[in-house]
Amino acid sequence: MEPLLAKLTNTASLNYAEALHASRELLNGNMPDAVAGAFLSMLQTRGETADEVAGMVAAIREKAQTIPFQAVDVMDNCGTGGDGSQSFNISTTAAFVIAGAGITIAKHGNRSVSSRTGSADVLEKLGVPLSLPAAETTHLLKDNKIAFLFAPHVHPGLKQVMQLRKILRIPTIFNLIGPLTNPVPLDSQLLGIYRRDMLGMMAEALHKLGRKRAIVVNGAGHMDEASLAGDNHLVLLEEGKQTAFTLHPEEVGLSVYPLEAIKGGDAADNAQILLRVLNGEAGVHRDTVVLNAGLGIYANGKTNSIHKGIKMAQESIDSGAAKAKLQYLIDYKQKEVTS
C-alpha cells in the first residue's frame, strides 16, 4: 500500500488496477484502521475518479452474494442519498412502475442512512421479504421481474467497513458507490446523485462497470432523484458516449411543484404514499414517480424518448401492472410464513 498512499499524498489518482488492489486489501481486513482511514480520507479530499470508484465497486462485488440469474436487459434504479430532501421513497415506488412496464429490476437498497426512511424500511412495512436465499431472489427476478436485494444481506463482508465509517464520521467513497454495487450484472441503470459536479464521473464509472445504457441525474434542488421543482441535470450514457442535457417537468407535460410537496415521513407514512401512487391516486407523488420511472424506462432503452417512457409509466400504474409486482412480493412472503 505504501506506493499507492504516496501517489494519493501527492494528489495523483489511482488507476483501475491500483484501486482494485487497494480496495481488496481494505475489504479483506489487511489494512490497519489508521491506513484505511488515510486511504479513504485522501480519496475524498482530492475527489474520487471513475477508475477509483469502479475499482472499489469491483472489489465489493467480488465478495458479494452470488445471485445465479443470467438475463439480458436487467436494470436498477437507485439514488446515492445524501440530498437532505427527506422525500418519500421515490425510486422504490418507481421500481415497481418500471417492472410493470416489462423491465426486469434488481432493486438494490438498504435501511435509512442519510434519509429518514430507506427502501428496506418501507418494503418491510409493506410485508416484502428482505433477506432471501440467492435461489429465491433468482426465482422472483424470473417470475415477477422485480426482487429486492437488501444490501447488508448481499454484502456481508462490509460489516468491518461500516465500523470504520462510523469511526471516521466523514463522507467517503462509500457515500457514492452504494447504488453501483448491485451483485446482479446490470445492462442499464438510472442513478441519482446529490452532487451535480460528479455526473460525468459517475457515468464514466458506470461505463467501466459494464453498463450499456444509463442515466445519471441530479434533480432540481440538488436531489438525488429527478424533481418537479425545476431543471434537472442529466447525463445519458450510451455505449460509452456521454450526452449531457437538462429536463424541466413542463417539457414532458408535468406540473411544477416545490420540493416541500414531496416530503415523506416514517416508514408507515411512506409505505402509504407508495400504495396510493400504485393505486392510481393523482397528484405530486404520482407525477414525481412517473417522471423518474419514465426516465428509467428510457435509460433502459425500452423506448426511444422520455415522453414515451412517461406514457409507459402512466400505463403501468393505470393498468394495475405496477401494483401487481408489489403484490406478488407480499404474497410470496405470506407463502413463506404459512408454509
Binding site: residue ranges? 79, 82-83, 87, 89-92, 107-115, 119, 165, 224-225
Residue whose C-alpha is closest to residue 81's, from 155, 186, 192, 231: 192
What DSSP string describes 176-226? HHGGG--SS--SEEEEE-S-GGGHHHHHHHHHHTT-SEEEEEEBTTTBSS-
Residue 250 has which C-alpha cell?
Answer: 413542463
- Write down the number of H helices and E strands in the chain: 15, 7
**Residue positions forming the annotated binding site for Mg(2+):** 91, 224-225
Distance between CA atoms of 306 and 141, rounded to whole angstroms? 25
Backbone angles phi, psi at 66, to 5 degrees: -85, 125
Q: Is the dihedral of CA 125, 126, 129, 130 positive or negative?
A: negative
Tell me if 288 sits within 8 A of 90, measured CB to CB. Answer: yes
Residue 165 has which C-alpha cell?
Answer: 465509517
Within 13 Å, how many C-alpha atoms sit on residue 54's CB side?
A: 20
Distance between CA atoms of 314 and 102, rounded to whole angstroms? 13
**Residue positions forming the annotated binding site for anthranilate:** 79, 110, 165
**Residue positions forming the annotated binding site for 5-phospho-alpha-D-ribose 1-diphosphate:** 79, 82-83, 87, 89-92, 107-115, 119
Amino acid at 231: D
Task: Scan for cell 441519482, then name that residue.
Answer: 192
Residue 101 CB partners (closer than 8 Å, separation 6+): 293, 297, 302, 312, 313, 315, 316, 321
